[in-house]
Structure 1
Amino acid sequence: MSDIYTRLVANALFPLQERLKKHDTVKVRQAMEESQWWPQQRILEQQAARLRDFLADIGSHVPFYRDLFAREGFDPQKVTGPADLQALPFLTKSVIRENKDTLRADDAQGLARFNTGGSSGEPLIFFIGTERVTHDVAAKWRATRWWDVDIGDPEIVVWGSPIELGSQDKVRLIRDRLMRTELLPAFEMSDAKVEGFIARIREVRPRMVFGYPSAISHIAGYAEKKGIRLDDLGVKVVFVTSERLYDHQREIISRLFACPVANGYGGRDAGFIAHACPSGSMHITAEDIIVEIIDGEGRVQPPGVSGEIVVTHLATRDYPFVRYRTGDVGVLSEDRCPCGRGLPILREIQGRSTDFVISADGTVMHGLALIYVLRDIPGVASFKIVQETTALTTVFVVPGPLFEAGDVGRIQEGLKRRLGASVTIDVKLVDVVPAEASGKFRYVVSRVAA
């Protein structure tokens, strides 16, 4: 049960903040909490109607789509569902860069400039309107409440984005204190920093923790190594997002904090796409988000088939994201969740396309095939694998106390078995493996896979 202060924040302070920002977040969240229990067919019918209205709107007010629809002979009024989107081209980062101004609605007001972290290449600059912000906050708020926690419950956020950290002015600090949320910067994870993080977590005794799975699992692992308990704090749930959640990360986080781990999937560019419910399903925010899965030729794939995740966000009329290629790889499901929600399910999120590697003979495989090689060597404390070309892979390794002279050869031999005997495996022993510029961590980065 939430305490009195949490109810004050969730029912008064946060709604007041949203009204002052001219966001109808409470109303949107309440509608979402009703529609999540609808039969899936009713949800999809509502989605189709919103899609038709959305496309008609941007066809009238967004120069890029007004010209595109005229050129392609596309009539939004004839749209009956997501399948009709296949008549439109994909939106990519390069298309957005080349058409930054014409993607803006001619009646858009109050657009905010955003950018992605650029961990996989050049940062993307784009704009977000009030409707998009409102709906994304509402969707996240709804999913938070699935886990018996709410805005206003004590929260620790382990994050590393320069955008969040750069906005920690006095107004935001006061607001965060009122909302009982505290940021721990995930840029530097030295032993001294992590010890300070653990001390602060123990002092705050949060009901929820939110952040990168790599950072939170690292904190949990350090606490276990030092014999520091985290299971006596009353943490109800750990929310993780922005990176792939690996099984070993889920295990150690769940065990050390003695609570479930709830995975979330989305991004600054694509929006709040899916979140795990307590029954374990990743539910798509179908009121706002249409997800397509495509193969390498751009053909839409049925549920159960892996491919790139393509997103259409129906709350982006001021700066539309229509058939946006995320670069992530996933699988849709036709299953229904035992929780009773009618929201569609994203069965798997397999990572970014650059988390896949290509062997010398052209075989495409997930980076996990390489990760397991290093995880099986006790002397490897941490690592990062960078596939430079199909002929060269660099491995950054932080050696632990059990590291042996022969471990370099074991790494090279294991990776050659997967990538090809002719591939050069350059193992570099380092003191620390740096995170990406955004503060995220990626075990595998391929400069070859796309």
Structure 2
Amino acid sequence: MLHLFNLSLKLNGFPMKEATSEFEKIQAISDADYEEYVQLKRKEIVDYHLKNTKSYQEFVGKSEIENWIELPIMTKKDFQKPLSERLSKGYTIKSVYVNKTSGSSGDPFIFAKDKFCHALTWANIINRFGWFGIDFNSSFQARFYGIPLDFIGNKKERLKDFFKNSYRFTIFDLSDEVLEKVLLKFQDKKFDYINGYTSSIVLFAKFLQKKNIILNSVCPTLKCCVVTSEMLFEEDKMLMEKQFGVPIINEYGASELDLIAFQNPDDEWQVNSETLFVEILDENNTVLPYGKEGRIVITSLYNKAHPFIRYDIGDVGILDEKSTFKKPILKKLIGRTNDIAILPSGKKAPGLTFYYVTKSIIEDDGNVKEFVIKQTKIDTFEVEYVSEKALTESQILTIEKAITTYLESGLTFTFTRKEKLQRSKSGKLKQFVSLIK
């Protein structure tokens, strides 16, 4: 069999053999020695960038650091300058892997990884998918992702799909007519796994529920479904497990870093400790103990081309109390720091609070397919939703009552029924947006 996936990585100059060997060596380090490994790697990457990266030297303001916690926190705003000014000595735009973040946090930027660092990312992804019997060279992927609509961008992505052994379903129109065609493809093709944006795959599960179809009865080769890039709610996970008949795996990553966490076969959200160091900090940048909620701050231990050291990714989460240096567990991913609603009383509420409240009520009868919530003023919120029938007065009253109970009184909500919701250019659906600066 042709190993097209491995071949494509090799042709792009990624040293997969060396990276896979290094990755296996890291995994072989014992639990007892792992803290020492992490501390050594942290020191190495900091020393490297303080010596070789002018922009990082300027950012830190000194050439040597005694203590890890003295290092300043990097944010996306620190990368809003030309990439050539951020690369370390000896690297050029032509010699590195270059990509762009999705901009879902409102601050998109172009970033770079050296080829070995990016090869390690792939070694990690291959390892994690392997937990569920997925081999990128032979397993056939049903891919629910956005795709560029311009001719060249479109053809580029289609070529990548060919090398990745995947069939892409475009997610910009997920009407019942389109999902009917998606279902036909599952009857026709021997897919091994599904991978893509959570909200799109949830819509497909709801469509199957309505038709009373279990997916692996029409596509028996299906082994698992990996969702990424958007929040996965417990009810949605249960619905997908029921309608697909396979395990649902939750992936959390960032293109500029690596895979951050991947659900393991024991149903734990295992953090990547091989190539990243993850910390949870409070608003004063104090490191919080396991079990406490705070900002997720990540260090890329291997990227020599571009520093991501104590980088605030813009998410809020909790590391489980049972975490260790070798096996940190992400207990909860609460959302992005910019998805926080400030209420008239001064109370701060994660945007997901509204989502949970509204979701629990309007999903009872399966009428509402999806919705987003926008905060337009300090006391005003708009709920846009797609449904077969408009919400009734009593449903709206129930939602308003629940919001008063969970949040506070005096908030105004308007409900607008839409044909379809506005997705970002990449096809992601942002579930809560605050338009208040």
TM-score of the superposed pair, with normalisation by structure 1: 0.86
**Structure 1's 169 and 383: CA in aligned 2 closer, same or farther, altered over 3 A?**
closer
Task: Indicate yes or no: 2:51 matched with 1:60.
Answer: yes
What is the CA deviation profile of residues 216-244 of structure 1, one whole-angstrom value per residue up to 9, with x for unaligned ones?
11111101212333022231111111111
Query: For 2:316, what is the secondary structure of its paired residue?
Result: strand
1:123 to 97, 103, 108: 108
What is the CA deviation profile of residues 414-436 of structure 1, one whole-angstrom value per residue up to 9, with x for unaligned ones?
33444432222122222222223
Matches within 5 A, 1:232-311: 232=217, 233=219, 234-311=221-298
Matches within 5 A, 1:399-414: 399-401=387-389, 403-414=391-402
What is the CA deviation profile of residues 113-167 of structure 1, one whole-angstrom value per residue up to 9, with x for unaligned ones?
4222223324223233313321211111110101112112111111126499964
Question: Which consecutive unaligned segments of at least 5 residues does structure 2 have?
Answer: none
Paired residue for 1:49?
40
- Is 2:105–2:336's contact at 8 Å kept on the other side of the alignment? no
RMSD of aligned Cα (Å): 2.7
2:213 to 219, 222, 228: 228
Paired residue for 1:105?
88
Matches within 5 A, 1:358-437: 358-375=342-359, 376-377=361-362, 378=365, 379-401=367-389, 403-437=391-425
- Separation (CA, whole Å) in 2 of partners of 1:85 and 1:200: 52
1:169 to 146, 150, 155: 155
User: Once the 2 structures are TM-superposed, how far is the Cα of residue 265 of structure 1 from its aligned partner?
Assistant: 0.9
- Is 1:46–1:287's contact at 8 Å kept on the other side of the alignment? no
Matches within 5 A, 1:54-93: 54-69=45-60, 71-72=61-62, 74-75=64-65, 84-93=67-76
- Is 2:46–2:309's contact at 8 Å kept on the other side of the alignment? no
- Separation (CA, whole Å) in 1 of partners of 2:179 and 2:303: 39
Query: For 2:310, what is the secondary structure of its paired residue?
Result: strand
User: Once the 2 structures are TM-superposed, how far is the Cα of residue 168 of structure 1 from its aligned partner?
Assistant: 4.0
- Separation (CA, whole Å) in 2 of partners of 1:241 and 1:206: 18
Q: Percent identity?
A: 25
- Is 2:380–2:412's contact at 8 Å kept on the other side of the alignment? yes
Q: What number of residue pairs does the alignment pair up?
A: 428
Query: For 1:18, what is the secondary structure of its paired residue?
Result: helix
Query: For 1:354, what is the secondary structure of its paired residue?
Result: coil
- Is 2:203–2:369's contact at 8 Å kept on the other side of the alignment? no
**Structure 1's 174 and 94: CA in aligned 2 closer, same or farther, altered over 3 A?**
closer
What is the CA deviation profile of residues 326-351 of structure 1, one whole-angstrom value per residue up to 9, with x for unaligned ones?
111111124269xxx94322222122
**Structure 1's 162 and 90: CA in aligned 2 closer, same or farther, altered over 3 A?**
farther
Question: Which consecutive unaligned segments of at least 5 residues does structure 1 have?
Answer: 79-83
The one-letter code of the counterpart of 1:267 is: A
- Separation (CA, whole Å) in 2 of partners of 1:371 and 1:295: 24
TM-score of the superposed pair, with normalisation by structure 2: 0.89
- Separation (CA, whole Å) in 2 of partners of 1:263 and 1:161: 22
The one-letter code of the counterpart of 2:64 is: F
2:173 to 188, 201, 206: 188
Paired residue for 2:26?
35
- Separation (CA, whole Å) in 1 of partners of 2:385 and 2:152: 31
What is the CA deviation profile of residues 279-335 of structure 1, one whole-angstrom value per residue up to 9, with x for unaligned ones?
112222212101111112222111110111011112221111111111111111242
Q: Which moved more, 1:236-245 or 1:356-365?
A: 356-365
Paired residue for 2:336?
352
Paired residue for 1:19?
10
**Structure 1's 293 and 99: CA in aligned 2 closer, same or farther, altered over 3 A?**
farther
